[in-house]
Amino acid sequence: MDTRTALLAAAAALLLVSAVGAVAAPDAIVDPRKADERPGDVRIVGTVVSPGEVRGETAELRLGVDLRHRGSAVENVTVRHRAIGADSGLLVDETTVAVGEVDGGGERTVNGSVDVEREGGYRIETVVFADGERRAAQTTRVGGVAALTPDYADSRVGFTEGDVWPTVAVSVSEADNETATLSVSVSVTNRGDAVSEPLDLRVLLRQSESNVIADEATETVGEVRPGRTDTVTTSVEVPANYNYYVDAALWSDDVLIDETQGVANLNPRETISANETVEEVDFTVEDFTREEGGDAGGDGADRGADGSSGGDSTPGFGPLVALVALVVAALVARRRP
């Protein structure tokens, strides 16, 4: 067989094999122009949780779900979010976001949200559906919701926290035997990036034992520049020779922003601190002495100059106790052989 005949035979055999393969597997040969028409696929590649509106009892959790699409268009896509209590396992909130048709490949972000109570932790279950069929699912755990600050109380201005410089400093301006005029200085720091709005500083002085308000004062905290600390000073007048807790609070439109506490020790025999009370008590034996027998106001016994009874009485056990001891000793001696 010459070369030409061999090449024709090989080409015929290859053509025969291709024809048989096309008949046996008609989908094996795909038109390149129709390669992008394969069934569409959509899946979750990531979820981001961020705080939204924070209210007094509840908080909004914003959910950004990244979807990846491949293949032909996927129609009637929806994303469902469920917030489930981490401890109770109960459904807290459920929302569904209608996405519609997903096409064009690549990734896209679908935004949603759920509302939860500001306590405990939660399990956020996200499921993607296409024409009512579950396509993908992901679970995200969220904790520390109670640490979120409500929007109405969100302020970057607060009392200064220092190791040496006092947040609340109290000095005596005037004093006599009955009253004392105190000068109270409070340090306020702006930890934000913008100039703060005016706030109200309210100061109460409470007597340490009774918690009775001795005096109070209100001052306005003006604008504080970012990163700066301002000192606000006010005066109060209280009865002298007592100790006081100095309660200070920052308010914005009747909303409590921050609070701190100091002390004013005006009683030299007793001191208090912001966290504990220390009292100096004089211990005397007389507080635990009991008189036995006789009339306390009578003259039945002679007293010495120091108040002790006269005579040769020996301190210790009395005569009755000694007699009982002798009787017990005699009984023990009779029982011995």
In this structure, the answer to whether residues 207 and 138 fall within a common structural domain is: no
Query: Are 260 and 184 a contacting pair, CB within 8 Å?
Result: no
- Give domain status of residue 20, yes or no: no
According to the model, what pLDDT value does residue 327 have?
56
State the residue range of the domain holding 56: 41-147
CB proximity list for 37: less than 8 A, separation 6 or greater: 71, 72
- Give domain status of residue 314, yes or no: no
In this structure, the answer to whether residues 160 and 264 fall within a common structural domain is: yes
Share of residues in the chain with pLDDT > 90 (%): 54
In this structure, the answer to whether residues 66 and 161 fall within a common structural domain is: no
Count of domains in the chain? 2
In this structure, the answer to whether residues 120 and 166 fall within a common structural domain is: no
- Give domain status of residue 33, yes or no: no
In this structure, the answer to whether residues 72 and 120 fall within a common structural domain is: yes
Q: Provide the token pair at 30.
A: 């795909």
In this structure, the answer to whether residues 98 and 165 fall within a common structural domain is: no
Out of 232, 250, 275, pick the residue that ends a domain: 275
CATH number, domain of 124, equals 2.60.40.10
- Give domain status of residue 251, yes or no: yes
Which tens digits make up the pLDDT trace of 164-202? 889 999 999 999 989 999 999 999 999 999 999 999 999
According to the model, what pLDDT value does residue 152 have?
84
Give me the average pLDDT of each 10-residue run along the chain (337 residues): 60 59 52 59 92 92 94 93 94 95 90 93 94 93 89 88 90 92 96 92 94 94 94 95 94 92 86 55 32 42 43 46 56 54
Out of 253, 275, 297, pick the residue that ends a domain: 275
In this structure, the answer to whether residues 166 and 265 fall within a common structural domain is: yes
Report the distance separating Cα 275 and Cα 335, nearest Å.
66
Q: Comparing C-alpha atoms, which of 62, 45, 46, 65 is closest to residue 54?
A: 62
- What's phi and psi for 42, nearest 5 deg? -135, 135
Out of 258, 275, 292, pick the residue that ends a domain: 275
According to the model, what pLDDT value does residue 177 have?
87
- Give domain status of residue 128, yes or no: yes
- Give domain status of residue 260, yes or no: yes
